[in-house]
Amino acid sequence: MITTLQNVTENQVDVADETSKFALGVGGTVAALVGLWGMTCLASALVSAGFLNVLQSYFVAIIG
């Protein structure tokens, strides 16, 4: 007669914790993509208008 032992383990998963981790990961990814898009737009403006024109337009937009 052969006796086999089987170990059973149960893992408790906290749904709120997992949801928070997922939401934080998605939020971080979206924030990184928005930052990259902003840097790309700034680089495009620098290439097409030049540094001094972009700087002047920035000050005019802030001061009015």
Any domain includes 57: yes
> Which helix (H) or strand (E) segment is 21 a member of?
helix 15-49
0.85 surpassed by pTM: no
Q: Which residues contact 49 (CB under 8 A, 6 or more apart)?
A: 57
- Integer Cα distance of 6 and 9 in angstroms: 10
Query: Please, what sign has the CA dihedral across residues 37, 39, 43, 45?
Result: positive
- Number of Cα atoms under 13 Å in the Cβ half of residue 53: 9
Structural domains counted in the chain: 1
- Tens digit of each residue's pLDDT (9 = 90 or more) over 3-29: 887 887 888 888 999 999 999 999 999
Q: In the chain, what is the greatest distance between 2 CA atoms, to the nearest angstrom?
A: 91
What integer pLDDT is reported at residue 39 of this predicted model? Answer: 97
- Tens digit of each residue's pLDDT (9 = 90 or more) over 22-51: 999 999 999 999 999 999 999 999 999 999
- The parent domain of residue 56 ranges over 27-63
